[in-house]
A = this chain, B = another copy of it.
Amino acid sequence: MEPATEPRFVTTRRVEFVDTDMAGIVHFSNFFRYMETAEAEFFRSQGHSLASTKNGSGVGWPRVAASASFKAPAYHNDVLEIRIYVRRRGFKSLTLQFEIRRGETLIATGQVKTAYCRFRPDQPIESLEIPATFDSLIGPYDPAADKEPVGKDEG
């Protein structure tokens, strides 16, 4: 699937020595961490956090699904560019797309679906409607434009 022409957010990430494995390249699991770190920076750019707690309760964005394709290896000391696209701003969930590049070389693409949730001690995680305070970050919720039905799981 094609990302929108303009990324919503762009940042960079240095590949650390510990991110590599015995094949001499970044371990694939670390690309998921790079995506989350870029997402956290995207959130912070407007004063939001991926997770915050108070009095033992909190709100956050646990991952519902994640996928990535690995196009070319990345190496220690590489500076990677990470581009974030808002793929879908749902009622209760958010799907972001990612492109990871080193110069002109496409290293990986990925997609992560998260849900806005409340954490309370000893209670199940509960998904919530995404507040309007996130509209300037990820766009307002538009039921007419939303391609997926708003259901318990799919909101």
| A interface residues with partner B (beta carbon < 8 Å) | 16-18, 20-25, 27-30, 32-33, 36-37, 40, 44, 49-51, 53-58, 60, 62-70, 73, 75-77, 119-122, 125
Contact A68–B69 (Cβ < 8 Å) = no
Q: Known: A49-B76, A53-B121, A122-B55. Contact between A21 and B17, CB under 8 A? A: yes
Question: 11 new A-B pairs (CB below 8 Å) besides A21-B22, A22-B75, A29-B32?
Answer: A17-B36, A18-B33, A28-B32, A29-B33, A32-B32, A40-B77, A49-B76, A53-B121, A55-B56, A57-B121, A73-B125
Number of copies: 4
Picked from B17, B65, B66, the residue with its CB within 8 Å of the CB of A51 is B17
Complex CA–CA separation, A30 to B63 (angstroms): 12
Contact A51–B63 (Cβ < 8 Å) = no
What are 20 A-B contacts with C-beta separation under 8 Å?
A: A16-B40, A17-B27, A20-B22, A21-B21, A22-B22, A22-B25, A22-B75, A23-B58, A51-B76, A53-B121, A54-B121, A54-B122, A56-B57, A56-B121, A62-B73, A65-B68, A65-B70, A66-B70, A67-B68, A73-B125
